[in-house]
Structure 1
Amino acid sequence: MAVSSDLDQFLNKIDDDYVACSICLERYTKPKILPCLHTFCERCLCGWVEKHGDLNCPACKTPCELQDGGVSELKDNFYMTSLVDLVIERRKLASGQDRVCELCEDKEVSHFCTECCQYLCVNCERMHGKIKATRSHKVRLISDLNEPEVERQSIAEHDVNCPTHPESKVQFYCDTCQVPVCIACTVVDHRVPEHAHRYLSVAADEYAVQLKDTVTKLKLKEDCIDTNMTAVKNSLFDQEKEKVNRKAEELVQSVRNEQQWLVNELHNGRDARIKETDILIEEFEFNHTSVNSARNYAETLLNHASPVQLLSTRPEVTRRTDELLKISDKWEEPVDGVEFDEAASDANLGRIKADACVKKCSIENFPKTVWKGDNTCLIVHTRDARGNDVIPRQKLNGTLNKPNGEVVHLKFSNNYNGTLSTIFRADVEGKNSITVTIDGQAVPGSPFAFSTRTGPVRTIGNWGNGKGEFNRPSGIVRDSRDNIAVADTDNNRVQIFNEALVFKDVLTFPKFKNPFKPRDVAISDDNTYFMTDSGNNQVVVSKQGGQLIRCFGQGELKDPRGIAIHPIDGNVYVCSHGSGAVEVYTQDGELLRTLGTPGRGQVVFKSPHSIASDSKGTLFVTNSVEVGHVYGFDTLGKLTMKSEKLEYPGCIAIHSDGCILVCNNSLFSWDSCLYKLNKQGKILSRIDAKEYVSMYYSGIVFTDDITSRVLITDRVYHCLRVYVV
């Protein structure tokens, strides 16, 4: 029986690319999978540990912490074991030697049972199909096994025996332990109710969907790293030198010495940056290799693995891919090493420093009151003895002295125009002061005293339908360019403001069947707007300029309220207030799942109102009609956090440091306040707006990722309120 050339190539590729250990270069013997998803023979790993003392992956150097049992305790790679067995078996079949039926041990084989792993003759195959216990088995013609496509399917159908009970086939998946098990395991080591089981095929189909999405993300991550690695390699430092030399040729002889000094400084900086670039390239290459390796392994599982093989390494694959997807793949090309002052006739090639006269220096724009937790800019104006602006040779020192005795050292940035500035944050209420010195001498007026406070800063807008006016505003969001979008619900529009809160644009959709009633807005990374429309029970997707892209959710959503885009998977999470659920969609509008249904560990929602996500992907939701809590949960609806008890938590925002800000609205008195919670849901503080009464907050957003300044929509006073918390 001669093997086809296509099958021969297929088997050779498996032999070379999949089942060869990169240490011994032979087929795997008892393959073990490491946390980084690389696989090696057990004996090879034992030899590696014996030689090196610890176990760092021989391929990528990722550390692997061994348990007390050593290498033998590492997880077996079911997939590679099965692949090796099948390759050996197919090689025997492809050798051309006649095989005898393994049942009657007489006649020549004509079929192969993929579940019994037995070769059968025509008569035994016919009997095999009549026996009740084996009639459902998948049986292949020997001639068909010469075709690569049939062989691939045969590999995926190959059953695996349980390592704990070798006489039993693996048929189930333990969700509790995340391992494939046999029927004997379900009544011994994985019995209910402590463990939950599912059929392998069901669990594998679900995980395959997740793994397919992971492969896509890994490919994007790999491409991004590759692009930036290429950009680093192609960066040309000589352009800086040419720029300096070209500028130097235009200058008079009086600045030749300054020219040479700047060129030398540029060379020194260039040498340092070349070293940094070499390190950066090495890091990009390492990350690219790791991501590529993980993607290839995941694709191999998708293309060739059976359900048990697919699920046997699920925890390791998930953990490793999560690690790799968090790798930074950004690179910004460095700016020019020299900046030119065209207006300064005596420093055309750069900036000339001089001694500052402390008595002539002063502090600009020093505030008398600072909002607690907010960032404040302090400017020092430096002059020489004649009162002229200078860039000082001396070092400026500054300290922030807090009421609790804590001292914070300030760092000044040179603005190269006769001023230096620093950003400070006063986070303790009471009397603070700042001391600024130059060469140990205090700048006139130093120390400068000021006080801090919290609460509302100002109010923007009022009732109406003009630009910057509102009618029962709801959700509010900030995009990547610091534009602010407000759902102006009863004006049937979304208003957009710039970072200074000046009106910029408006989104309206007058052609819908019912009036457009926006309740909340989410903005994707590419500045696409996703708006919940309770008037039409849908999500409206448009560009920033108002060009309608699509609508979705009409069949599932009832009175949609809060909306959020997950920072990791990019999916859209929508609070369906009327149906008591959170619906999960792709950005194209495909419904993926519904969260909030009882059972399987999901958090149960009553009337979900507001939803937000932190940078790690944990989702937080509030119920508008429930006295109680803020709930944190994962993308499958599993409860991960339950806050301390609140009154009536409404809209919610998450700061970049993980703290949670919740608007508390009384259903009876229309009085609102803010609660600040930590990551674990513990109440840190409560902030009341004593200046106002009868407010109702319905949307909240942080104005940036650093300060504690927030914007809140007030549905009673039809305005935006600026708070510092």
Structure 2
Amino acid sequence: MSLRDENSEVFLSCSICLEILKDPKLLPCLHTFCQKCLVDFKDDSGGVLSCKTCKIQCDTPIQELKSNFFISSLLDRFQRQKLLSTDQHSLTCEICQEKTATHRCVDCPQFCCDVCVTIHGRIPALRSHEVLTIDEYKEKESRCYLMVQSKVFCSDHKDTYLEFYCDTCQVPVCLKCTIVNHRVPEHVHRDLQEVADEYKTQLREMLGQLKVKEKQMEEEKATAVATREEIQNQCAAEKVKVMRRAQEVIERVKREEKMLIDALDESATMELKAAAMNIDEKEFHHGNIVSTHHYLNTLVHHGNAIHLLSTKLETMSHIKEMVAMETKPPISDNITEFHPGSDLARHTLMGVIKTDACPSKCTVENLPKQLLKGESANLLITTRDSREKQIIPRQGITVKTMNPDAPQEDIDVTDNNDGTCNVMITGKMVEKHQVAMTIGNQHISGSPFHISVPSSGWLQTVGKAESEGQLSADAWGITVNKHSDFVTADKGNNRVTIHDREGNYKQSFTFTDQFAEPFKPCDVVISDDNEYFMLDDRNKQVVVSDEYGKLIRKFGSSELDNPCGIAINPATKHIYVSEFSEGCIRKYTKDGVYIKTFRKGINNKLYMLAINSDGLLYVVNFGNHCVEVFDSDEQFIFEFSSLGDNEMITPSGVAVDRNDYVYVSSLNQVTKHETYGQFICRIDDDSDGLIRPCGVAVCNDGRIAVVDCGNRCVKVFEE
């Protein structure tokens, strides 16, 4: 490689002063700079020395930095090549400084003339030096640089070559150094070339690793470049989307502008037409009065008695008619205004046209005559002007509840920005529920509205509305959790559904894809430690989860065949499961360990279960139309089926309250019984319309919740 090409000169230049290196010093990061440049650069950087190339900070004092002998050698060679490239006769002997140089001592290193080279050869200490003619030196220089490179002198002993390597200090040393500063046995010396050969081998291995790293960084650089291009391309693509969207918005704004202006023109045209008609009417009547007044005034001043009296009757009658003529009030000025939109996300970007509404022309739809407690109705208010045209009103709409012995309550109004508003009202536990609706402080026609809310009997409907929590016609068991939520086994929807006390849907447990067959819960019960035990009819198992629906365990698949009802003994915590077709009851521990089966093989078709505080187990016998009762030892003690003057027909659900009263759902009714089955009363009424009631649960506040399968809901009653 020639050191005279442009790249080599750059390689030998200092990146601070951009000139050929002078007194090159090597930083720990292997970058080289002039010593003076490093001093100046450190002063300019506030006393902190960092590499200008790679920015790595250097904590070594500048005076302690190592000289870069390799760069110094390259600089020497570079200078020699520059000299050799010139005319040979211009080379001057570096010893006598007079004659033309003819030789080169590789070891000194110096250019010598014929006389000086003779003297050089006579000096014993210099006889071992390699002396070449200029032509020989040029040839060897061009063929192999290492054979002709000059020896390096010690920085401490200027007249002695570096020949050894101190392993202790890890620096090249001269012969004098081995005697003065690097004496044995404290220091270990080796031949410099030997150590260099070992280091070359090690360095070649490291160069291989460095080559791999170089390739890796090259690939990462290519990836970074590709990422930059991708970012640029993505940015350009997104800008196109922005411009396209901006154009769409501009076009939409123009359309809305035209629509709003047309609406204002239409409204103004109608108002102007009415105003013009009113002016014409006034001008007509005014003209009649003026002409009559002028005629009669002339008659008074110029007519004689005959003239005056001959038309007395007609004149007096006409004057009285004109004086008594009813003067119509000026037409109402319905103000029409443009209201800019404040929310660009709404369906109109610019805004809407609002006009004065006429309260007597506004209407309310979907207004129920009666609401059960907890039920809601969505009312629709349509606002109109005096011409009964649907408009967006300038005035504000206010809706308040006005219940006896209770403060007024504001109800939120949802403005649809199309001349209609929605209002959601919910039944409260009072005899009369009044709703007042005003617009511009004037009552809408019919306001306040009176809605009947029963204070006893059927209070509430849960899961009936068309919503995410709507129950199916195949909902069976029900219980109430510690939050007073209604927890329903909705077999038809493959889930356990939870509604809060007010009937709002909260969540569902579905266990999708966790079992071999779809999850089909037919009953549910909750333990004292808040674990949910759900009876899965399709997979013939009991599924246990926490209150958030996270599966904890499952059991019973080896014994269960057609499970229907489930209950927990409050004293022993044992789990009881009724089998519909087998006509038996399975008993398990709380952890799912099978204990035994009892009441097997007689009078099949068992439905729901309930256990009171004394451990009495109530089992609904659907086939025999009765409720069987077992003691705490699972021994049958009695059954009951009387409903006063009637007999129980196809019972299905059973529950007990904190006072151990028993509630049973049977053919389209729910009844209350003493602990030992004596009939007390009926909870519902024929007008409540129960159809195929199933599961029964007693709420914490004493209300009775019943799954109404026929009406696909839960109905809540108060005794």
**TM-score category of the 2 structures, normalised to the smaller one:** 0.3 to 0.5
Q: Which has the higher contact order (CA 8 A, sep 6+)?
A: 1
